[in-house]
Amino acid sequence: MSTETGKPAAEDPLQPLLALDGVAQAAKAAQDAVFAVHRMGANLRGGSATAAEASVRAARASAGIDGADPEIPAEGAVSDPVLAGSLRVAEATESILPTWRRAPLQALAKIHVLAAADLVTDPDQLGRPRSAPGIAERLELLAQLTTGSTAVPGPVLTAIVHGELLTLGAFGTADGVVARAAARLTMIATGLDPKALTVPEVACFRKERRYRAAAEAFATGEPDGVREWLLFCCESFEAGAREAKSISDAAG
């Protein structure tokens, strides 16, 4: 296929993933489940209450996956550094979104500053990816994907962003929180969940063993491993939609 200039059209690097057994169907089911939440009465009227509660639940679950106590103290400040960082990231998600859309590497740096502020002793480490071979190049490729070099459905791109950042461990601290925050931004930016109503992080927390096994399978780069991760993520999106429905029902 060629463009009007006569140059070959760039191939979509993620398009082959939709040919993996069950992935296209799982992505469609995930989209349908999330879109159904947006059509609920409370969410059609705005969904701000659902989104606010979803954001906190997502932050708590994300911290819990990385070993933090996800319970927020009834009185006093949050003392767990992982939970505190995850909550800071959640609070800043809306303000980071425009940067994520145009300059995702800058957004990742900001996310890490917020997530790891209580975890590192050297402030110069905040927001700076490790200098290990290949990290800068893979982050740049990821940035290209998030800014338009692929047209795969939102669930697939979100899963790839999530899995790639987990695999890279780009910063060396708070990488899990960073990966899940970036996935949440991708859900919003792709239009999969534009109001950020769903909470797939809770499913990842509740099924932490499967989550980690699927992430390890993805890290191999083998088609079966990537497929396992994509299917797990799509399942989590559906579970996150059910969580959102319960939040919306409670909000009236």
The DSSP element (H or E) to which 67 belongs, if any, is: none
Distance CA 51, CA 25 (A): 27
How confident is residue 7, by pLDDT bands cut at 50, 70 and 90? very low
Instruction: Tell me whether residue 8 is in a domain.
Output: no
Instruction: Tell me whether residue 4 is in a domain.
Output: no
How confident is residue 75, by pLDDT bands cut at 50, 70 and 90? confident
- What CATH number is given to the structural domain containing 245? 1.10.3290.10
Output the six-digit token pair for 207: 């099924």
Instruction: Tell me whether residue 9 is in a domain.
Output: no
Domain that holds residue 163: 17-69+77-251
pLDDT at residue 2, rounded to an integer: 35
For residue 44, pLDDT beyond 90:
no
Task: Tell me how crowded residue 10 is: count the other CB atoms within 10 A of its CB.
Answer: 9
Q: Are 159 and 240 in contact (CB under 8 A)?
A: no
Instruction: Tell me whether residue 39 is in a domain.
Output: yes
Greatest Cα pair distance, the chain, in angstroms, is: 65
Instruction: Tell me whether residue 6 is in a domain.
Output: no
Instruction: Tell me whether residue 59 is in a domain.
Output: yes
pTM of the model: 0.94
Structural domains counted in the chain: 1
pLDDT at residue 4, rounded to an integer: 43
Per-residue pLDDT tens over the stretch 227-246: 999 999 999 999 999 999 99
Catalogue the long-range contacts made by 41-44 (C-beta closer than 8 Å, 24 or more residues apart).
Answer: 42/248, 42/251, 42/252, 43/195, 43/197, 43/248
Instruction: Tell me whether residue 204 is in a domain.
Output: yes
Per-residue pLDDT tens over the stretch 83-130: 999 999 999 999 999 999 999 999 999 999 999 999 998 999 999 999
pLDDT at residue 58, rounded to an integer: 98
